[in-house]
A and B are shown apart, each in its own frame.
Chain A
Amino acid sequence: MNEFWRRIWVDSTDNVILKIKDITVGYSKIDILHDVDLLLRKGEIVSIIGPNGAGKSTLLKTIFGLLQPRKGSVYLQGKNITGEKPERLVRHGISYVPQVSNVFPSLTIQENLEMGAFTRTDDFSGRIKEIYELFPVLGERKNQRVGYLSGGQRQMVAMGRALMLDPQILMLDEPSAGLAPKFVSMIFERIIDINRTGVSLILVEQNAREALNMANRGYVLATGRNVLDGEAKALLNNKEVGRLYLGG
């Protein structure tokens, strides 16, 4: 019964800013995702976890218009944005950080951020200052070429670039992948800071435990389908989830 009321609360549309329904998408003949649903409410952090190859990255790419779904829809604040190109979505306030190749290596940190602000026509120097406050180490090296930075610093640049547009929704694909442990916790702390400024986040993460710790709600995806979803705490305490995805 609680589950029933919970679902009604979650589905209530006042707060929902992103709604994904029945998404089926794939490459050429093989479908990766089948009838996937997801909701994001304003101000939330939603984490998507699941085994490798579950299609988590594919879902983000589909939302962002890099892939065209065969079936299903994506709604941004009620407006149907299914299949719209990235360059348009960026203007609607969605930003995306891919898992790999997410910085411009031959440009400096400052220039990477400037490129993030390409579509802005106003003076964004204030925003750049805010990014440097969020990531002080970037401010110290702002004229260094990003190709020479460490993995953790690059990830910061990648997120900073995406934040330059003052997005309302930020989608991160495995932000902690390949990072040294001290950077991992730092990145997660920053994600919470970003959320506090009012940005809603969708997070795809291998590090399922941390991802659920930070999140309000979580979705478990496996072999391209929704397996489970619910309050993050509930998922953390769920024994099945714990055994399969949280490493016991």
Chain B
Amino acid sequence: MLELIVYGIVLGSIISLGAIGLSLVYGILRFANFAHGDLMTAGAYVALFLVRGPFVWMGISEETFGPFSFGWRMVIAFPLSMLAVAGVSILLDRLLYRELRKRGSSRVILAMSALGASFIIRMGVLIIWGADSLFYRPGLMRPALELPAGIKIRPDQILILLIVALLVILLHLFLQRTKMGKAMRATADNMELARISGIDIERVIMWTWGIGGGLAAAAGILYGIDVQLHPGMGWNFLLPLFAAAILGGIGNLYGALVGGLIMGVVQQVSTAFLLPTYKPAVAFIIMILLLLIRPQGLFGGKTR
């Protein structure tokens, strides 16, 4: 059971990263981004492409670092993939959502176009890589470390926790200390007042999509490192992501962090009683219960 909880925290940290991105976009744009899961997929596969393709041709070493399952290739691919997916995210806004926003389209139409975008991304992945599961590093033995209290955890997983923590701290500093970060928080509070104050809303929107996309990519790569890559991975995360974001209070980033960890643990512990494939269903049931009993989540969030 303890192992389940420990692994649940690792999985939960990945969910948190995705949920924070989702909550960020919702808080600022009031947009339920159904494409967020598939942005995770995109991130994972872009990294796969880099690691298996260009970096091989460029001759970057495939040596792994110590007890970890990756080497320089992944280290360089990680931020590049985040940037690429940030770019894709911004592009989607420029091409699709901004047009619809200008027309005053309803939230449902915007959400529908996000849904369409998610399918387009997934089809793209399926076309290029096919439907099978893939690994960044097939066939590598990754022994678990033994920690005190008999907890078994792989070195990769410890690093995942550290990376998530690092990204969360960086995001916090960005939002609290930089002008654009404060402008994003102001826009989340009150977009009309932000316009009235002269804040450049289009730039705020661009940064929001960029950061949301980048965080989603990071979450996807981490999941790929930990488990595997398959084209439906992001879609399967959609329910846990939304459940985590709602649990923390939609729009509340620190709530999303906690919500993600809780969702991870609950999902993992559920595997003691249910088949692992039911994890999304567990997320779904929790979400329904939340929406019934306490839709503002644990910490309250932004309403429309």
Contacts and interface: CB of A to CB of B under 8 A. Distances in A.
A binds B: yes
Contact of B194 (A64, A106, A111, A115): A115
Interface in B183-202: 183, 185-186, 188-190, 192-201
Interface stretch (A37-45, A94-102, A179-187): A94-102
Interface residues of A, number: 26
A114 interface: yes
Contact of B196 (A64, A106, A107): A64
B35 to A, nearest CB: 27
A75 interface: no
A86 B192 CA distance: 10
A154 B199 CA distance: 20
Contacts of B201: 87
Contacts of B188: 106
A105 interface: yes
Contacts of A103: 193
Contacts of B182: 107, 111, 114-115
B102 interface: no
A104 interface: yes
Contacts of A105: 189
B103 interface: no
B151 to A, nearest CB: 38
Contact of B198 (A86, A98, A102): A86
A101 B194 CA distance: 11
B179 interface: yes
Given A104-B189, A114-B179, A115-B182, A96 B198 contact: no
B192 A87 contact: no
Interface of B: 179, 182-183, 185-186, 188-190, 192-201
8 contacts: A86-B195, A86-B198, A91-B198, A98-B196, A101-B193, A103-B193, A104-B194, A112-B186
